Chain A
Amino acid sequence: MRVEVDHVSHVYPGPSPRRVLDDVTVELTQRRVGVIGANGSGKSTFLRLMNGLIVPDAGHVRVDGLDTAKDAREVRRRVGFCFTDPDNQIIMPTVAEDVAFGLRKAKLPKDEVAGRVDVLLRRFGLEGHAEHPAHLLSGGQKQLLALASVLITEPDLLIMDEPTTLLDLRNAAEIGRVVGELDQSVLLATHHLYLLESFDRVLVFDGGRIVADDAPGPAIAFYRELMGVA
């Protein structure tokens, strides 16, 4: 999967407009790309460009040649998005129903939907919770549910915006393990730097710009120095 970000800038309007991305240009083709940076550095906005949740004020974002501003529907079929807080992403009351929700529009036979849901729930260790209220799961289970709900539509690229921020160390490591086993390309923003150690490439954001673009080791070292915690 190829993502091209071409001279993209974005400003959040308001009484004091804030430029969150400033002329960012990058091309992503690797299977595992990490995004790190301080709060407010532009990471989340950058991720939201990838499936058209945010359309840039200037520049273009293309996913496999599709412009996110013009082909948002097709882009969203190929790009799944996992948010920081899974509670915002869970729509249906029970676990199995929430995973199946993404297939509503596909109008697939019920048996096929149930089969696909079952496979994903087993894969993420949630098979015993299929009929449970989704909002009563633990934090780690909710994030796994959110992940399963995105993967049911079989996207080619998975965007994850700080999926471990609200989790304890064990659950964060579990999400890291699950992400490592995914077939999809993954673009992951996180403050848990160890999750990126096996990644192909890491982008460091600061002030709306990419200030480092390297393999995990050098990129994380640069970021630590930037933050003054080297």
Chain B
Amino acid sequence: MNTGTLGLYRPGTSPLHRARAGTKLLGLAALGLGSVFLTTWQTVTAALALVVALYAVAGLPPRTMLRQVRPMLFIVVFVAVFHVWTAGWVRAYEVLGVILLLVLAAALVTLTTPVSAMVDAVVAAAGGLRRFGVDPERLGLILMLGIRCVPLMSTLVAEVREAQSARGTRSLRAFAVPLIVRALREADAMGEALVARGVDD
């Protein structure tokens, strides 16, 4: 099963692992905002080198790093071809570099931060929204379920594809209908389990 960009947490004791989840999320947000200023190939290269170095600091091998970007290979190729054609090699490198930088940085945060710590950080940060009627715990739950549903949907897709192959059909409808029906059933079952575990109390 490919959980690709889900970038599940890898336990460790590196400085990045020990850093607070909120600090890492703020750093990621700052990098996202700051990326608009990475307008030359030199600054893009420097930023990429920094993120690659942080993977080393976190004790994550190059294989793990490459696995984070492999699922977006199609987009990378598409964007590269488009930009080389319309704006040249240098511009293509800058655009792709920024995309890879952000994906690698986001994956680095999830690889070095337990989801529960990330959820705690989001819940704490959203505390001020209570006065507007927003329940921070619900926001945290949405985040948790979003992450949980990636492998769940991945499994469903694999099972439906397998069933399709067994019946020798490749039509889109034969793929989409059982997938949607099963996804809705899984959603119902998970909702029931959440209630049983006292989430709605």
A residues lining the B interface (CB < 8 Å) = 51, 53, 73, 76-77, 80-81, 83, 85, 87-94, 97, 100-102, 104-105, 131, 133, 135-136, 149-150, 153
Alpha-carbon separation in the docked complex, A97 to B152 (Å): 17
The answer to whether B115 touches A53 (Cβ under 8 A) is no
With a CB–CB cut-off of 8 A, which chain B residues contact A77?
198
B159 to chain A, nearest CB (A): 11
The answer to whether A83 touches B189 (Cβ under 8 A) is yes
Alpha-carbon separation in the docked complex, A35 to B35 (Å): 60
B144-201 with Cβ < 8 A to chain A: 144-145, 147-148, 151-152, 155, 186, 189-190, 192-198, 201
Sample of 17 more A-B contacts, CB < 8 Å, known A77-B198, A91-B197, A100-B116: A51-B196, A73-B201, A76-B196, A80-B196, A88-B186, A89-B197, A90-B148, A92-B144, A93-B147, A97-B115, A105-B198, A105-B201, A133-B151, A135-B152, A135-B155, A136-B1, A150-B197
With a CB–CB cut-off of 8 A, which chain A residues contact B151?
133, 135
Q: Chain B, interface size: which category?
A: 20 to 34
A9 to chain B, nearest CB (A): 21
The answer to whether A53 touches B197 (Cβ under 8 A) is no
Alpha-carbon separation in the docked complex, A165 to B148 (Å): 23
Alpha-carbon separation in the docked complex, A150 to B1 (Å): 27
With a CB–CB cut-off of 8 A, which chain A residues contact B1?
135-136
The answer to whether A88 touches B189 (Cβ under 8 A) is yes
Q: Is B11 interfacial (CB 8 A cutoff)?
A: yes
A87 (CB) vs chain B CBs: closest residue: B152
Alpha-carbon separation in the docked complex, A76 to B201 (Å): 9
Q: Is B8 interfacial (CB 8 A cutoff)?
A: yes
Alpha-carbon separation in the docked complex, A78 to B151 (Å): 31
**Given A53-B192, A88-B186, A135-B151: A97 and B197 within 8 A (CB)?**
no
With a CB–CB cut-off of 8 A, which chain B residues contact A92?
115-116, 144, 148
A130 (CB) vs chain B CBs: closest residue: B11
The answer to whether A153 touches B198 (Cβ under 8 A) is yes
Pick 27 A–B contacts, CB within 8 A, sort by A: A51-B196, A53-B195, A76-B196, A76-B198, A76-B201, A81-B196, A83-B196, A87-B186, A88-B190, A89-B190, A89-B193, A89-B197, A91-B144, A91-B148, A91-B190, A91-B193, A92-B116, A92-B148, A93-B6, A97-B114, A97-B116, A105-B198, A135-B155, A136-B1, A149-B197, A150-B197, A153-B198
A198 to chain B, nearest CB (A): 26
A153 to chain B, nearest CB (A): 7
A12 to chain B, nearest CB (A): 13
B74 to chain A, nearest CB (A): 25
Alpha-carbon separation in the docked complex, A149 to B144 (Å): 16
Q: Is B41 interfacial (CB 8 A cutoff)?
A: no
B110 (CB) vs chain A CBs: closest residue: A93
Q: Is B93 interfacial (CB 8 A cutoff)?
A: no
